[in-house]
Amino acid sequence: MKTHYSVLIVGGGQAGLSVSYYLKQRNLDHLIFEKHQVAHSWQDKRWDSFCLVTPNWQCQLPGFPYQGDDPHGFMVKSEIVEYVRAYAKSFDAPVKEGVAVTRVQQLGDRFGVSTSLGEFTADQVVIAAGGYHKPRIPRLAERLPRSIHQIHSSQYRNPDQLPEGDVMVVGTGQSGCQIAEDLHLAGRRVHLCVGSAPRSPRRYRGKDVVDWLDQMGYYDMPIDEHPQKETVRHRTNHYLTGRDGGREIDLRQFATEGMQLYGRLQDIDGDRLYFKPDLKQNLDGADAVAESIKKTVDRFIEQQQLDIPPEAPYCPIWEPQKDPTDVAIADANIRSVIWSTGYHTNFRWIEVPVFDGQGYPCHDRGVTAVKGMYFIGLPWLYTWGSGRFSGVARDAQYIADHLLTKRKYQSPLLERINEMAIGS
């Protein structure tokens, strides 16, 4: 069995496959290690009714753009899985499925890669394992009564898997809001802890907002030009949904239909839950972000002198009378809690000095200061689309060019990283 390759890619999702596509075109020998199977995260870490929140036309994997008959629709889970797996088959990607990578280390001018299949070496390594590794559940969860059924959002599949009774969802990022909606539409009574995540309009002035943002060049904006470039990589995504043809998620509307809204969960004491008094603040903040997106579209329409009728600004249909600060679990009949609280990154298995003090890889467009070590598929690696179907092709081609030349790209950022390393 061959154990040395020019390039080893860790991760067989859309990011790793995209790099492989370009390497195959260039006849550079390489191998992909995938711990589970291609499209595993889409298949096994999403709920049954999951669908994309971006239109199908944004599915632009290199050499494999969306070819279906519903470009402005939103693929459901099974279609996403098929799309990614069909992509791997389309160019016969060299994937070793069911192979876990347990260690990556430097061995002189090459890298050692320890796997469940054995030891391998490579001249260069691409880490395409994403950034969502370990479910983040706060230690506060340990204080819930043992009778409460608890799961992370990655474990949620459908309402029927939960015990009878009310369900509390903690967190209002994309997953939290969509899971709350899924339960609500199924007739389950939901208690939702609302955080500071922003929301987005779905359609505005005749188009999906994604179409407008694409026209305005937002998805081509590199992170260095983003007004929040220091924080955007770690910010929560705007919530909305592609379900049933796509729509906004308005938590105020859910409240009028019986969903119980609270501020962020602050404490648990016996049978009682305590919340921060920030429900109104968080709802208003989410609305303000949605309206700011609309105003950006308005300015663009005006600048382009487009003949498109204006729309009235959003008017809240529900306001909390006061911020609820506590509730008794028994009185509320809460039997289940779903923690939609994100993930921790875990790159401890990579023993190469490319990380900052938080364990996040230091890179410039995926290129690290260690020659031959690359990352791809991280949120805002370079643009908004870096961790998505829409922008991964650009990142993959950029990294493939570096892999082919085997030259370390010495950007100003990498020079600073090297200087810091030398100084320490």
The domain that holds 147 is classified in CATH as 3.50.50.60
Domain count, the chain: 2
Tell whether the model's pLDDT for residue 409 goes beyond 80.
no
DSSP label at 136? -
Tell whether the model's pLDDT for residue 278 goes beyond 70.
yes
Q: Tell me which of 79-83, 179-183, 297-301, 410-414 is least confident.
A: 410-414
196-234: pLDDT as tens digits = 999 999 999 999 999 999 999 999 999 999 888 788 888
Can you read off the two tokens belonging to residue 396?
A: 């993959």
Residue at which a domain ends, from 313, 339, 365? 339
Q: Which residue has the tokens 């009878």?
A: 164
User: CA torsion angle for 57, 59, 60, 66 (degrees, to 10)?
Assistant: -60
Q: How far apart are CA 392 and CA 377, in angstroms?
A: 7
Tell whether the model's pLDDT for residue 421 goes beyond 90.
no
Same domain, 374 and 414: yes
Single-letter amino acid code for the residue at 96: K
Can you read off the two tokens belonging to residue 304?
A: 């382009």
Q: Which residues in 191-227 are b (16+ Cβ under 10 Å) and which e?
A: bbbbbbbbbbbbbbbeebbbbbbbebebbebebeebe
Average pLDDT on 317-341 reads 95
Same domain, 143 and 120: no
Q: Taking Cα atoms as reference points, which of 323, 301, 321, 320 lies closest to residue 311?
A: 301
Single-letter amino acid code for the residue at 67: Q
Residue at which a domain ends, from 339, 374, 404? 339
Going along 99-228, which residue ranges are E strands?
Answer: 101-107, 110-115, 118-127, 134-135, 149-152, 166-170, 190-193, 203-204, 207-208
Tell whether the model's pLDDT for residue 20 goes beyond 50.
yes
Residue at which a domain ends, from 339, 357, 375? 339
Same domain, 45 and 158: no
Same domain, 167 and 71: no
Same domain, 173 and 296: yes
Same domain, 106 and 144: no
Same domain, 225 and 256: yes
Same domain, 235 and 370: no
Same domain, 369 and 402: yes
Average pLDDT on 353-366 reads 95
Q: What is the pLDDT of residue 412?
A: 47
Average pLDDT on 333-346 reads 96
Same domain, 265 and 395: no
Same domain, 176 and 324: yes
Q: Mean pLDDT in the chain?
A: 94
The range of the structural domain enclosing residue 410 comes to 4-133+345-423
Same domain, 115 and 145: no
Average pLDDT on 128-145 reads 95
